[in-house]
Amino acid sequence: MSTQEGLGLKSRSKRDMDERLAFIRIYVRKLKENPDEVFRQQVRLVNSFLKTAKDFPLTKEEYLKIKGELKGYSKSKI
């Protein structure tokens, strides 16, 4: 690995860490600003989305093929 590549990885890693820390700060601020009930409602909503996605009868490939967004995927693979 060249020095230039190493510096690029370090700066990307630092940028990623800075973005994560910024997200955490925003999230903590939102936690402090909103009552617990708001977050309970959001948890229930997200959990219902996850359950629906888990119980969905099609694979992601089948769904995208039906929508016409999956190109170059043969029927034999589905």
The 8 Å CB, 24+ separation contacts for 53-56 are none
* pLDDT interval class at 26 (50, 70, 90): very high
The residue type at 70: L
Question: Can you tell me the distance from the alpha carbon of 73 to that of 50, in angstroms, rounded to the nearest whole number?
Answer: 26
So what's the pLDDT on residue 63? 85
Question: Can you tell me the distance from the alpha carbon of 76 to that of 67, in angstroms, rounded to the nearest whole number?
Answer: 18
Question: Can you tell me the distance from the alpha carbon of 47 to that of 17, in angstroms, rounded to the nearest whole number?
Answer: 28
Q: What digits encode the pLDDT tens for the residues 41-73?
A: 988 999 999 998 888 888 888 888 888 887 765
Mean pLDDT score of the chain: 81
What whole-number percentage of the chain has pLDDT above 70? 77
Residues 6+ apart with CB under 8 A from 51: none
